[in-house]
């Protein structure tokens, strides 16, 4: 299971931010954000931190630490 893709999609929906809007704020292509939400790619560490800042969340939540821990 790709917790990052699932959590990113959920946070974008909750924060009412489009993939295109996030891409513009991060300076990446919308297709890059789309690949993240589909679980085809994951961002580098520095980009992950920027995403967390923009979405006002912690890396552990975005990466699915607690979900993974409860599923073990």
pLDDT tens figures, 8-25: 999 999 999 999 999 999
Q: What is the pTM of this model?
A: 0.90
Tokens at 7, concatenated = 């959590």
Delimit the domains of the chain by residue range: 3-70
Q: What is the CB neighbour count within 10 angstroms for residue 7?
A: 18
* CA dihedral (14, 19, 21, 24) positive or negative: positive
Query: pLDDT tens digits for 25-71?
Result: 999 999 999 999 999 999 999 999 999 999 999 999 999 987 777 87
Fold held by 3-70: 434 Repressor (Amino-terminal Domain) (1.10.260)
Of the pLDDT bands very low, low, confident and very high (cuts 50, 70, 90), residue 1 is low
Residues 6+ apart with CB under 8 A from 48: 42, 59, 62, 63
């Amino acid at each position: 299971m790709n917790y990052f893709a699932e959590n990113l999609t959920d946070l974008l929906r909750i924060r009412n931010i489009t993939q295109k809007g996030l891409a513009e704020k991060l300076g990446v292509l919308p297709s890059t954000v789309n690949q993240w939400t589909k679980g085809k790619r994951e961002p580098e560490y520095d980009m992950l931190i920027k995403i967390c800042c923009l979405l006002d969340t912690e890396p552990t939540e975005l990466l699915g630490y607690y979900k993974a821990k409860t599923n073990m």
